[in-house]
Structure 1
Amino acid sequence: MTVQDPDVVATSGAESAAVDSPRAGQLGLAVRTPAEGVTVVGVSGEVDMLTAPQLRAESLRHLDAGSTLVLDLSGVSFLGSAGLAVLVEASQHAKRRDAEFRVVAVARAVTRPLAATGLGGVFSVFESVEQALESHESR
């Protein structure tokens, strides 16, 4: 059995492909504003009890009155219950502020928890950021 130090990142071999992705306990967030009042937050890595507070803070920060937040979870490799709670809170926050909250979910790691909990029917879920933005333009 081989034990690998979690603080060591492989620089060669099969494991080196993951160097650019967030490490365990870290969350990658990329924020862009494609139009006035529209923010897309690209999320990568694992959304669990360690990283959910960071996602929560970033999500709620972009939900202003009348705004649209697209949470792109296409880079998420794990979505735990703490992450699902963040999505519920962001959705509720958006409703209170008359804002739009949209989720992009394509990976099984995200779609399966959404389907298993029934939350896939609660949020506006799209297969791409482009679809979520087109939905914004048509309202």
Structure 2
Amino acid sequence: MTVQDPNVVATSGAGSAADGTRTARVVRSVDQPVDGVAVVAVGGEIDMLTAPELRADVLGRLDDGDTLVLDMSAVSFLGSAGLAVLVEASQHAQRRGTAFRVVAVERAVIRPLAATGLGEVFSVHGSVAEALAAVRAGGGPSAG
């Protein structure tokens, strides 16, 4: 059995940056369906390489005063660095007096949220439409 140090990034071979399959880029689209509400859709792997980019974007949008719906429907991996971004975004939203909603449908996101207990802390929804309905219903600022 071979065990690889998780802190070492492959420099050659499958999955390395050299072969072009592993990049520190989060697939993202942004929509503003209602004035003052931003929906940020992310996909791929949220790990220590991609979390800083996600953090900058999410906190920046919260700084703008927007209610933020983070659509993680296309996320295939959510690591501890990604969970830390969610916690920080939730706290940032509370300080700003705005709402932060998370859309999680894939096991890759739901399992880490459940395992850490964060699924009970954040306002987690099964679809963007459901999250937007909660915003319209006056759910107000939330813990997540």
Same fold (TM over 0.5): yes
Correspondences of 1:40-55 after superposition (within 5 Å): 40-55=39-54
Alignment match, 2:29: 30
Q: Which runs of 5 or more residues in structure 1 are unaligned?
A: 10-22
Count of aligned positions = 124
The answer to whether the 8 A contact 2:25-2:53 is kept is no
Q: Distance in 2 between matches of 1:114 and 1:5?
A: 26
Structure 1 residue matching 2:62: 3-state secondary structure: coil
Offset, 1:52: 0.2
Letter in 1 for 2:128: V
Quick one: structure 1 residues 134 and 76, their matched pair in 2 at CA, closer, same or farther if it must change by over 3 Å? same
> Relative to structure 2, which stretch is displaced further, 62-71 or 82-91?
62-71
Offset, 1:29: 1.1
Q: Which runs of 5 or more residues in structure 2 are unaligned?
A: 1-12, 139-144
- Normalised TM-score (structure 1): 0.83
Correspondences of 1:112-131 after superposition (within 5 Å): 112-131=111-130
Letter in 1 for 2:136: E
RMSD of Structure 2 on Structure 1 (CA): 1.7
The answer to whether the 8 A contact 1:103-1:123 is kept is yes
Quick one: structure 1 residues 51 and 65, their matched pair in 2 at CA, closer, same or farther if it must change by over 3 Å? closer
Alignment match, 1:62: 61
Q: Distance in 1 between matches of 2:80 and 2:15?
A: 27
Alignment match, 2:80: 81
- Normalised TM-score (structure 2): 0.80
Quick one: structure 1 residues 46 and 100, their matched pair in 2 at CA, closer, same or farther if it must change by over 3 Å? same
The answer to whether the 8 A contact 2:28-2:41 is kept is yes
